[in-house]
Amino acid sequence: MAVRTTTAFERRGLSDEQLRQLFRNMLLQRQLDNRGFQLNRQGKVPFALGSEGHEALQAGAAMAFERGKDLLAPYYRDLGLCLGVGLTPYEIMLSIFAREADHNGGRQFPNHYSSKATGILSFSSVLAAHIPHAVGAAYAIQYRNESGRAVLCTNGDGTTSEGEWHESLNFAAVHKLPIVFLVENNLWAISTPIEKQMAQPEIWKRAVGYGMPGKRFNGFDPVETYACVKEALERARSGGGPTLLEGMCYRFLAHSTDDNDMTYRTKDEVTEHRKSDPVPRFEAKLVEAGIMSEADVAAMKKDVLRETNEATDRAEAMPFPKAEDLYTHVYEGAWQPWQ
Amino acid sequence: MAVRTTTAFERRGLSDEQLRQLFRNMLLQRQLDNRGFQLNRQGKVPFALGSEGHEALQAGAAMAFERGKDLLAPYYRDLGLCLGVGLTPYEIMLSIFAREADHNGGRQFPNHYSSKATGILSFSSVLAAHIPHAVGAAYAIQYRNESGRAVLCTNGDGTTSEGEWHESLNFAAVHKLPIVFLVENNLWAISTPIEKQMAQPEIWKRAVGYGMPGKRFNGFDPVETYACVKEALERARSGGGPTLLEGMCYRFLAHSTDDNDMTYRTKDEVTEHRKSDPVPRFEAKLVEAGIMSEADVAAMKKDVLRETNEATDRAEAMPFPKAEDLYTHVYEGAWQPWQ
Amino acid sequence: MAVTTSKMTASSQTMNNVEAVRATLYEALKNDDRIIILGEDVGARGNVFLITKDFIDEFGPQRIIDTPIAEASIVGIAVGMAMEGLRPIAEIQFADFIYPSFNQIVGEAAKTRYRSNGEYTCPLVIRTPYGGGVRGALSHSVSVEALFYHVPGLKIVAPAFPADVKGLLNAAIDDPDPVLFLEHKKTYRLIKGEVPSGHYTIPIGKANVLKEGTQLSVVSYGLYVHWALEAARALEGDGLSVEVIDLRSIRPMDRTTILNSVEKTRKLLIIHEDNKFGGIGAEISAMVAEEALFNLDAPIRRLCAPDVPAMGYAETLEHEFMSSPEKMAKAMREMVAF
Amino acid sequence: MAVTTSKMTASSQTMNNVEAVRATLYEALKNDDRIIILGEDVGARGNVFLITKDFIDEFGPQRIIDTPIAEASIVGIAVGMAMEGLRPIAEIQFADFIYPSFNQIVGEAAKTRYRSNGEYTCPLVIRTPYGGGVRGALSHSVSVEALFYHVPGLKIVAPAFPADVKGLLNAAIDDPDPVLFLEHKKTYRLIKGEVPSGHYTIPIGKANVLKEGTQLSVVSYGLYVHWALEAARALEGDGLSVEVIDLRSIRPMDRTTILNSVEKTRKLLIIHEDNKFGGIGAEISAMVAEEALFNLDAPIRRLCAPDVPAMGYAETLEHEFMSSPEKMAKAMREMVAF
Ligand SMILES: Cc1ncc(C[n+]2csc(CCOP(=O)(O)OP(=O)(O)O)c2C)c(N)n1
Ligand SMILES: Cc1ncc(C[n+]2csc(CCOP(=O)(O)OP(=O)(O)O)c2C)c(N)n1
Ligand SMILES: [Mg+2]
Ligand SMILES: [Mg+2]
C-alpha cells in the first residue's frame, strides 16, 4: 500500500502499514501483559510484571531498531520492545511459564528476555548492570568497523541513580560509541517517586555533562518516539556517537504482581495519567486519520487475542526444565561436582 | 594589623594577615612535599606523593573552612588542605614516617591524613569511596540541625568517573545537604589525560544534571579559590544545599615517587604549566601589592624550612608501631585470634 | 528449643520473623533518635516485605529515607553517618543487590576502625533478605554470607527464629562495629515463635543448641536449621539421637559450642543452603579438623547446594537446588550409621 | 621444580614474572585481534608495573584502552565485549580496587553463561596484582582470592613461577569462561625462571608438585609457595622430607593432587598469605577432612595471616602480618614431629 499523507498527525515517514504495525505491537503488548497477570491470578505462574503505559514508547523505539543489525540491551519492563524487535509471543510465554524451551531455560525470572538470534543481550535482575555490557557490545561493533550497526540500551528512571549508569555513559561518550541510551521515565521506581530519586527531574539534561546530545520526548506518542530513537540510532550507526534519550511515560500498573501501588500513590494520580493512555489514544488517531477503520481495529484486537491465546496454550503445553538441567552451562563442558 | 586596600588584586575580603597566611600555607606545603621526596631519595621512606601545583587551590579552600565547625573529607593529594584546616607539619611527618603516634598508627599509606580532632574524616586509597562518607556526614549535620556547619569534600578529576561519585552527588542534591564537592582538576589521572577520562572536560557542567549549582575557577589563584569555596560553603551552611566546584590546576610532579611522568607527557607540557606556578606568582603579587616585602618573604621561607626541619626531626625520632599493634582496633575490645 | 537471651522478661508474644524485625526496628527508632533507616522503598511502601510499613509517617522522611537506587552509596552514606555519630540501619532490598556495595562494606565499613587506628568507628547495620525457596529465581535467591565471612572487621549474623531475630538485631544495633544482618526471606512468614517483650540482646557470636543429641552434631543456620531440626526430631522415633546447633552468628563463629558438641557426638554434619565450595561449611569443617581431628569417628560431611551459580526460576530447578528435611534425614542416618 | 606444560619446546628464556605476563600478552595481541586490553594507565604508561609498556604504540589505542577510573565499568564493558565476540583482558590496577567491580564479576561475568542457558558466554580475563610484602600498606596489599573463590562460574588462578604465568595466562585467554588471573606483585621482579618459547598452555585446575616428600604435604600458592619451598629444602638437611604443592589454580581446585599427596604423607599443612578465617585453606582442609580423614596422622594445620583487616604500612606491622621461610620451617618441623 502506498504511503498517504494525512493531516491528523505527523507520521515521520512511516507508512500506513508501519503505523498499523506500531499499533498492533501496542495491542499485543497489552494483551500479553494482561495474560501474565491473569495467569498469576489463576495461580499458574508465581510472578508477573507489566509494562502498561510503556507501549507507545516501546513500539516506537522498536520500529527504529534495524533487525539483523542492531543490538538491544533491554531491561525487564521491555516486553514491547522485545516483541517489536522480533521476539514472538510464544517466546514471551515460554519465559512467563519458565519452560525448558525458554531462551534462559526457565532459569531467570520472567521478563528477562534474551535471544542471541534476535540480537537481544542477556541481562540479570541487578539494575544497571547491563548498561556497561551494552557499551562493551557497542565497542565491539565500532572496533570491528561494523558501521551501520548500533546498540539500543534501555533502563528506567530510577536506574539512572546507579553508579554503573554513570560510568557507562561516560565511557561511551569518550569513545563516541554507536549506542543510544534510552531512559523510560515512568516517574516511579517501585514506590519511589522521581523527586526522591533526583533533585532535577530532567534526566536528558545530564547528557551535557557527558558531552553527548540529550533529548526528552513524549513516550506516549509512538510516532514521536520512533522519530527520536531513529534519529539517535542513525547518528550512532554513522559514527556520530552516543545519545541520551528520555521518553516520558507512566507506569499504570503496580510494579509487579508482588506490589500494591495504592500503598504509596493515589488512585487519582493514576486515573489522571490514564486519561493519556497511549493505546486508546493512538487507536483514535489512526481511526480519525483514516488509517484504520473501527472494523479494522476490532479485527486486529481479535487477532491479537487469538495470537496471545495460541502462544499461551502452546507454551503452557511445553515441559518444564528437567532437574538435571540445573547442572548445565556452569562452565563450558560437563559439570564437575567439585568445580 | 588593619586591613588595607590594595589595587594589585582582588582580595575578596581577606586581610593582609590572611593573605600572608595563605602564602605561608603554600610555602609550607611545597616544603613538606619536597621533604617527602627527599626522604624517599635518601631511602628513609619507601613512598612519597606531592601536590605541587595544588598549593593555591588547597590553601584557598582551607581558608574558607571553619575550624571546629566544618568537616573535611579529603583525598591523598590534600596535604595543603589538611595543613590549612589545622593539621601540623609534625602530624604530616608522622604519617610520612609511619610512626606509632600517627593518627592512623602507621597503618595507612602516607598522605592518607585523618584526624577526628581536626574534623578530617578517615579515607582509604580506594578512589571515590570517601565521597558517600562525606555525604553521610553532611546528612548527620543536617539531621541534627547543626546549621552553620558544612562538609568540604575533595577529589581529583579522574575520580569523577567512578560510580560512587555520581551516586553521592545525586543523593546530596536530593536532600539539599550542606556539602561542597570540590574537584581538583589537574588534567591528569596518573598517566591518563583528561580527554581519555571524559568527552567533555568541564566537570562543573555536570552540576546541572544533578540540580545543584556548579562553578569552575582558577585554582592557581588562592584568593579566587577562597572566594568560590567560601561562597559555596556558606550556601551549604545556611541551608542552600550542595555545590559542585571545579578548581583548575596542574600536577607539576609525577604522580608519586613510583611514577615517571616523562613516559606519558612531555617536558614541554610541564614547563608550559610551570610558567603559571602559583607559588612564585602569588609571592610576586603580594610583594607588588606591598603586603609583603622581599625580606618578609625570605624570612617566611626560612621559618617554613625551620618548621619543616623540626617536624621532620621530631617525627623521625618517634618509635614505629609495635608488632602487637597489628592486632588492635579490629573490633572494639581485645582481638581474638579466631575472629 | 532453647532460646538464650541475656535479659528475658516474663511476657512474650507470638510473631513471625517479619514481625520480629519490624518490632525490633520500631523499638530502636523509638528509643534512639540517632537511628536512621535508609534503603530503597523503605518509606511509603514500607519495604517490599512491609517490614517498615508506616514508619515514615511516625518517624518522618528524615529518619526513614527512601534512597535512590544506588546500593554503593546506600552503604557508603550510612558509613559516613556512622562515622559522624548516627546509628544508620541500611537496607539492601534483596541480598542479590548487595554486590554493588561490596566496596563500601568490605573496603570501607569493615576497615574504618582499623585504618584510623580507632579514631573513627562504623556502628552500622546492613539488613538484607537472602535465600531461596520462594521462586525468586537467579537474582532474588542468593545466599551471600560466604562472600563476606572472610572479612575481618565485619560481623555477620543470620538468625532463624523470631526471638533470635529480635535479640540479635538489638545486639547488632548496639554493636559499635558494622554488622551484616541476614534475614532468610522464606522464613519471614513461615516461621513463628514466642518473642520476649522488652529490650534484650543475644550476644553476637554465640550459637544455640536447639536440640541435644549424642550420635551426631548437625550445624546449620537460616531456613535449613528448621528443616534440620525437623529431620532430627523425626529420627528420634527411630532411636537416633542427633544434636542440632543453630549457628546464628557466622562471624565471629562460636567455636566452643561446635567443638563441645563434636567432642560429645564424635561426628559432624554441616548443612547449608549456599553452595559448597568455599562456603561457611568449609571454615567450620577446617576449624574442627584443626582443633578436634582425633575426636572424630567419621569424616566431616557438608550437605550443601551444588556448585552452580544459582537456583533457577522453574520449580524443577529450584527444587533440585534446595535441600529438604528428607534429604537431611538421609544424610543424618548415613552419618550415624558410619 | 617440575614445570608441567602441555606443550614444551626445546628453547626457553629466563624471565621474571612481569616479563612473563608481558611476553604472553604480547603474543596474544599479535595472534588474535579479538584481544583487547583495557584498564587504568595501561596505555602510554604501560601499566604501573610497565607490563604493557609500548603496547599502545604497536597495537593502537583501540586495543590498548586507557579507561576512565571506573572499575565496575572496566569489567562490565569487558563483559559486553566478551558477549559480543571479543576477547577482552581487563586489568584492575591493584587487587584492592577490584571491590567496585564485584557486581560485574560475581553477579554478571560468572553468571552470563548460566543465566542465558548457554546462549551467551563470557570469555574474559581479569588480571590484577595482589599481595603484600611491598610496603603497599592497607590498600595496596590485599589478597582477594577468598572473596571470589566461592563463586561458581568463575575460575581463579594464581601462578607463582614465570613458566606457569605464561602457561596459565595463555590458558585463561583461551578459556571460554571468565578467569580471574592473580599476580603476586612481590614476585613480579623477585622471581625469575625459565620460560619455554612458543605458545603453550597449562591446564587451569592442575596443581604442581614442586618438591616430593614423604612426611608432610604442604599446599601453598603465590609468593608463599616460594618461601615454603625454601623452607622445605632447608629442612632436607635435617632429614625431613616435605612435599610442596603449588596450587596454581584456586577454582577449580586440584583435589586429586592434594589427596594423593596426603595419602602418602598423612599430614597436611596449608600456607597462605591471606587471613585464615574463610580463606582458601578452609576449603582445602574441609575437602581433605571429607575425603581422607582417616588418612591423617595429625590435625590439618593452616598457617595464615592473622584475622586482621590488612597489613599496615609501617615495616613493623607488615612484618608481623607476613609469614617467612623461618616461620614456615617451624610449622613444618612441628607437623613432622607430631
Ligand atoms: C541493583 C538493584 N537494586 C534494586 C533492585 C530492586 N528493584 C527492582 S525494579 C526496581 C525499580 C526500578 O525502577 P526504574 O529504574 O524506574 O524502572 P521501572 O520499574 O520504573 O520501569 C528496584 C528498586 C534491583 N533489581 N537491582
Ligand atoms: C578505585 C581505585 N582505582 C584506582 C586507583 C589507583 N589510582 C590511584 S591515584 C589514581 C589517579 C587519580 O587521579 P585523579 O582523581 O585525577 O587525582 P590526582 O592524583 O590527579 O590528584 C589512580 C588511578 C585507586 N587508588 N582506587
Ligand atoms: Mg521508573
Ligand atoms: Mg587528576
Nearest CA to ligand 1 atom 12: A189
Quick one: CA dihedral A203, A204, A205, A211, positive or negative? positive
pLDDT of residue A4: 47
Residues C186 and C122 in one domain: yes
Ligand 2 shell residues, CB under 6 Å = B 77, 125-127, 155-159, 184, 186, 188-190, 251, 255; D 40, 69, 71, 93, 97, 100
Residues C152 and C217 in one domain: no
User: Which residue in chain D has the smallest CA separation from C292?
Assistant: D299
Q: Kindly determine whether residue C45 and residue A191, on different chains, have CB atoms separated by under 8 Å.
A: yes
Q: Kindly determine whether residue D277 and residue C307, on different chains, have CB atoms separated by under 8 Å.
A: no
d(CA A143, CA D5): 34
Task: Tell me what the mean pLDDT of segment C163-182 comes to.
Answer: 98
pLDDT of residue D168: 98
Residues D177 and D135 in one domain: yes
Contact (Cβ atoms closer than 8 angstroms) between residue B180 and residue B225: no
Q: Which of C280, C329, C337 is nearest to C305 (CA)?
A: C280
Q: Which of residues 165-224 of D touch C (CB under 8 A)?
A: none
Could you say which DSSP state residue B121 is in? P
- List, for residues B33-60, the tens digit of each pLDDT value: 999 999 999 999 999 999 999 999 999 9
Check pLDDT > 80 for residue B1. no
Residues C161 and C260 in one domain: no
Active-site residue, A264 included: yes
- List, for residues C296-306, the tens digit of each pLDDT value: 999 999 999 99
How far is residue C220 CA from its own chain's centroid?
11
Active-site residue, A273 included: no
d(CA C315, CA C135): 7
Q: Kindly determine whether residue A198 and residue C139, on different chains, have CB atoms separated by under 8 Å.
A: no
CA B256 to ligand 2 centroid distance, Å: 11
- List, for residues B155-164, the tens digit of each pLDDT value: 999 999 999 9
Nearest CB to B322 within list D96, D99, D316: D316
Nearest CB to D316 within list B46, B323, B338: B323
The neighbour count for residue C141, using CB atoms within 10 Å, is 26
Contact (Cβ atoms closer than 8 angstroms) between residue C148 and residue D148: no
Question: Is residue C106 domain-resident?
Answer: yes
Check pLDDT > 80 for residue D4. no
- List, for residues D80-98, the tens digit of each pLDDT value: 999 999 999 999 999 999 9
Q: Which of B22, B72, B84, B59 is nearest to B180 (CA)?
A: B72
- List, for residues C233-265, the tens digit of each pLDDT value: 999 999 999 999 999 999 999 999 999 999 999
Q: Kindly determine whether residue B170 and residue A209, on different chains, have CB atoms separated by under 8 Å.
A: no
Check pLDDT > 80 for residue D284. yes
B176 in contact with A at a CB cutoff of 8 Å? yes
d(CA B41, CA D264): 52
Nearest CB to B191 within list D45, D308, D320: D45
Question: Is residue D224 domain-resident?
Answer: yes
Q: How confident is the model at residue B339 (pLDDT cuts 50, 70, 90)?
A: low
Check pLDDT > 90 for residue B29. yes
Name the domain boundary from C162, C196, C230: C196
Residues C171 and C135 in one domain: yes
Give the distance between the most distant pair of CA atoms in chain A: 68
Instruction: Provide the CB-side half-sphere exposure for C169 (13 A, CA).
Output: 31
Contact (Cβ atoms closer than 8 angstroms) between residue C82 and residue C36: no
Residues D168 and D35 in one domain: yes
Task: Tell me what the mean pLDDT of segment C28-51 comes to.
Answer: 98
> The complex's ipTM?
0.97
State how many domains chain D has.
2
CA B2 to ligand 2 centroid distance, Å: 43
For the domain with range A16-327, which CATH number is right: 2.40.128.110, 3.40.50.970, 3.40.190.10, 1.20.120.420?
3.40.50.970
pLDDT of residue D55: 98
- List, for residues D171-199, the tens digit of each pLDDT value: 999 999 999 999 999 999 999 999 999 99
pLDDT of residue C249: 98
Query: From chain A, which residues contact D within 8 Å (Cβ)?
Result: 71, 102-105, 107-108, 112, 114-116, 121-122, 124, 126, 129, 131-141, 143, 163-164, 167-168, 170-171, 174, 328-332, 336, 338-339
Strands C301-305 and C155-157: unpaired
Q: Kindly determine whether residue D62 and residue A171, on different chains, have CB atoms separated by under 8 Å.
A: no
Instruction: Collect all residues of chain D within an 8 Å Cβ-Cβ radius of residue C100.
Output: 72, 102-103
Question: Is residue C203 domain-resident?
Answer: no
Could you tell me the three cell numbers for B16? Answer: 593582609
Q: Which of residues 271-300 of C touch B (CB under 8 A)?
A: 287
pLDDT of residue B8: 55
The residue among C77, C101, C151 with the most chain B CBs within 10 A of its CB, best to mutate, is: C77
Residues C155 and C218 in one domain: no
What residue has cell string 561449611? Answer: C281
Domain containing D37: what range? 12-196
Question: Is residue D3 domain-resident?
Answer: no
The neighbour count for residue B238, using CB atoms within 10 Å, is 12
Residues D192 and D61 in one domain: yes
Residues C174 and C233 in one domain: no
Check pLDDT > 90 for residue B336. no
pLDDT of residue A282: 97
Residues D167 and D235 in one domain: no
- List, for residues A280-293, the tens digit of each pLDDT value: 999 999 999 999 99
CA D312 to ligand 2 centroid distance, Å: 20
Task: Tell me what the mean pLDDT of segment A39-46 comes to.
Answer: 96
Average pLDDT, chain A: 96
Q: Ligand 3 (ion): which residues have CB within 5 A?
A: A 156-158, 186, 189
Average pLDDT, chain D: 96
Nearest ligand by distance to the CA of A128: 1
pLDDT of residue D10: 65
The residue from A264, A273, A274, A314 that is catalytic is A264
Q: Give the 3-state secondary structure of residue B194.
A: helix
- List, for residues D243-263, the tens digit of each pLDDT value: 999 999 999 999 999 999 999
Break chain A into its structural domains and give their ranges: 16-327
Atom index in ligand 2 nearest the CA of residue B51 equals: 21
Strands B192-193 and B214-218: unpaired
d(CA D126, CA D143): 15
Question: Is residue C154 domain-resident?
Answer: yes
pTM of the model: 0.97
Domain at C95, CATH number: 3.40.50.970
Q: Which of D144, D163, D152 is nearest to D96 (CA)?
A: D144
Nearest CB to D77 within list A163, A171, A330: A171
pLDDT of residue B6: 47
The residue among A47, A126, A324 with the most chain C CBs within 10 A of its CB, best to mutate, is: A126
Task: Tell me what the mean pLDDT of segment C15-38 comes to.
Answer: 98
Q: How confident is the model at residue B86 (pLDDT cuts 50, 70, 90)?
A: very high
Name the domain boundary from D196, D218, D234: D196
Supply the DSSP string of C236-304, one letter for each residue: HTTT--EEEEE--EEES--HHHHHHHHHHH--EEEEEEEESTTSHHHHHHHHHHHH-GGG-SS--EEEE
Q: How confident is the model at residue C332 (pLDDT cuts 50, 70, 90)?
A: very high
d(CA A169, CA A244): 8
Adjacent-strand bridge partners of B184: B156, B247
pLDDT of residue B140: 98
Q: Give the 3-state secondary structure of residue B49.
A: coil
C172 in contact with B at a CB cutoff of 8 Å? no
pLDDT of residue D3: 43
Question: Is residue C3 domain-resident?
Answer: no
Residues 6+ apart with CB under 8 A from C283: C149, C253, D277, D278, D282, D286
Residues C269 and C212 in one domain: yes
Instruction: Collect all residues of chain B within an 8 Å Cβ-Cβ radius of residue D73.
Output: 163
pLDDT of residue A336: 86
Check pLDDT > 60 for residue D5. no
Q: Kindly determine whether residue B98 and residue D315, on different chains, have CB atoms separated by under 8 Å.
A: yes
Residues C153 and C26 in one domain: yes
Contact (Cβ atoms closer than 8 angstroms) between residue D99 and residue B163: no
Q: Kindly determine whether residue B210 and residue A200, on different chains, have CB atoms separated by under 8 Å.
A: yes
The neighbour count for residue A145, using CB atoms within 10 Å, is 8
pLDDT of residue A9: 72
Q: Kindly determine whether residue C99 and residue A335, on different chains, have CB atoms separated by under 8 Å.
A: no
Question: Is residue D1 domain-resident?
Answer: no
CA A268 to ligand 3 centroid distance, Å: 19
d(CA D249, CA D203): 9
Check pLDDT > 80 for residue A339. no
Q: How confident is the model at residue A1 (pLDDT cuts 50, 70, 90)?
A: very low
C72 in contact with D at a CB cutoff of 8 Å? yes
Could you tell me the three cell numbers for D175? Answer: 578459556
Domain at D313, CATH number: 3.40.50.920
Question: Is residue D201 domain-resident?
Answer: no
pLDDT of residue C40: 98
Ligand 1 shell residues, CB under 6 Å = A 77, 125-127, 155-159, 184, 186, 188-190, 251, 255; C 40, 69, 71, 93, 97, 100
Nearest CB to D153 within list C278, C279, C309: C309
B165 in contact with A at a CB cutoff of 8 Å? yes
Q: Which of D168, D132, D145, D185 is nearest to D311 (CA)?
A: D132
d(CA B85, CA C191): 54
With DSSP H G I counted as helix, E B as strand and the rest as coil, what are the percentages for chain C, rounded to 5? 40, 20, 40
